[in-house]
């Protein structure tokens, strides 16, 4: 088994997980497996109490050239071992930022609904930037998160980081700032205008700027304005990244 890193060993595990909790979790795995069969992402379920994976899909994005059983046995340390060395310190900092408070609060009233982050991992010997989206699916009687579902997909960005936490309250989302070593609230999540969404939908269908203008009864310059606005809002540099980002973050 892969040894845990110091940072992972220092994190306090959630307490009060019962046999009943585990039985309920096991009953959910058939649904997770069915979801994984039709999902385009890699899927795993992590037990934060025993620090291992209860479920690992057969996607290359989570196997890293190994078997599902090897990944399950390796647990958290396995992920850290396959992370690109330059990304490991920041990944460890993020793990610590959320791991020592299993309720994942941004304040005493708001709970994190999901976390999205991007780090480089070695997949079959090649460094690949992967996006991990994590959300709780199991809490203890005390409210501590002990079981999480994670979806893994190629990142829509070109560099690591871009760590966002979506909360369940109307306060929107926060990003993790490595410079300040803290979560920073960013208010409500961004929204696209009707014209921007239509432009993206038609772009995803393969239409050119001229064809999109005809379908929208807009000039090509207006369509280009929509595209530029979307790029600025999403922080992307081309239409493929914009489409992937919009679908991944439910903007369409």
- pLDDT, one tens digit for every residue, the chain (252 residues): 334 444 455 556 777 888 888 898 999 899 999 999 888 788 998 888 887 888 999 888 788 778 888 888 887 778 778 888 888 887 777 776 665 544 454 554 556 677 888 888 887 778 888 888 888 888 887 777 788 888 888 887 777 777 777 765 545 667 777 777 777 776 666 778 889 989 988 988 888 889 999 998 989 899 999 999 988 888 788 888 788 777 766 777
In 3D space, the residue among 45, 51, 17, 8 whose CA is nearest the CA of residue 143 turns out to be 17
Same domain, 67 and 175: yes
The per-residue pLDDT for 34 is: 93
Give the residue numbers spanning the domain of 201.
194-248
Same domain, 37 and 138: yes
Same domain, 86 and 204: no
Same domain, 25 and 77: yes
4-42 per-position pLDDT tens digit:
444 455 556 777 888 888 898 999 899 999 999 888 788
Domain-embedded: residue 242: yes
Helix (H) or strand (E) run with residue 123 in it: strand 112-123
Same domain, 75 and 34: yes
The tokens describing 65, both together, are 């050239």
Of 156, 185, 214, which residue constitutes the final position of a domain? Answer: 185
Of 157, 185, 213, which residue constitutes the final position of a domain? Answer: 185
The per-residue pLDDT for 173 is: 67
Number of domains into which the chain is organized: 2
User: How far apart are the C-alpha atoms of 164 and 185, rounded to whole Å?
Assistant: 10
Domain-embedded: residue 64: yes
Same domain, 153 and 220: no
Same domain, 51 and 110: yes
The per-residue pLDDT for 94 is: 74
Domain-embedded: residue 234: yes
Q: Which pTM was predicted?
A: 0.72
Domain-embedded: residue 129: yes
The per-residue pLDDT for 119 is: 87
Of 185, 214, 233, which residue constitutes the final position of a domain? Answer: 185
The per-residue pLDDT for 102 is: 47
Same domain, 120 and 27: yes
Same domain, 28 and 132: yes
Q: Which residues contact 236 (CB under 8 A, 6 or more apart)?
A: 156, 157, 230, 242, 245
Same domain, 117 and 155: yes
Contacts of the segment 128-136: beta carbons below 8 A, 24+ positions apart: 128/154, 129/154, 129/155, 129/157, 129/158, 129/159, 129/160, 130/61, 130/154, 130/155, 131/155, 131/156, 131/157, 131/248, 133/248, 134/46, 136/104
Domain-embedded: residue 198: yes
Same domain, 214 and 164: no
The per-residue pLDDT for 171 is: 54
Domain-embedded: residue 228: yes
Domain-embedded: residue 1: no
The per-residue pLDDT for 4 is: 43
Same domain, 117 and 227: no
User: How far apart are the C-alpha atoms of 31 and 27, rounded to whole Å?
Assistant: 8
The per-residue pLDDT for 205 is: 86
Q: Where are the beta strands (DSSP E) in 1-97?
A: 42-47, 52-56
Domain-embedded: residue 156: yes
The CATH number of the domain holding residue 224 is: 1.10.10.10
């Amino acid at each position: 088994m892969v040894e845990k890193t110091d940072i992972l060993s220092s994190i306090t595990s959630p307490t009060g997980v019962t046999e009943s909790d585990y039985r309920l979790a096991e009953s959910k795995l058939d649904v997770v497996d069915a979801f994984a069969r039709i999902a385009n992402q890699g899927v795993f379920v992590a037990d934060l109490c025993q620090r291992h994976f209860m479920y690992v899909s057969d996607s290359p994005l989570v196997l890293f050239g190994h078997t599902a059983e090897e990944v399950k046995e390796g647990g958290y340390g396995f992920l850290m071992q396959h992370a690109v060395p330059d990304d490991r310190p920041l990944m460890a900092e993020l793990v610590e930022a959320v791991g020592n408070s299993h309720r994942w609060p941004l304040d005493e009233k708001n709970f994190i609904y999901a976390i999205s982050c991007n780090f480089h991992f070695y997949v079959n010997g090649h460094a690949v930037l992967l996006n991990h989206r994590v959300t709780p699916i199991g809490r203890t009687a005390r409210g501590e998160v002990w079981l999480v579902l994670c979806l893994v997909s190629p990142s829509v960005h070109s560099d690591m980081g871009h760590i966002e936490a979506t909360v369940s309250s109307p306060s929107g989302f926060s990003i993790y700032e490595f410079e300040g070593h803290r979560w920073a609230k960013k208010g409500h999540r961004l929204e696209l205008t009707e014209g921007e969404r239509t432009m993206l939908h038609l772009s995803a269908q393969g239409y050119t700027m001229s064809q999109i203008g005809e379908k929208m009864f807009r000039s090509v310059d207006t369509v280009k304005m929509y595209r530029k606005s979307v790029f600025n809002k999403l922080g992307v540099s081309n239409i493929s990244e914009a489409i992937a980002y919009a679908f991944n973050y439910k903007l369409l």
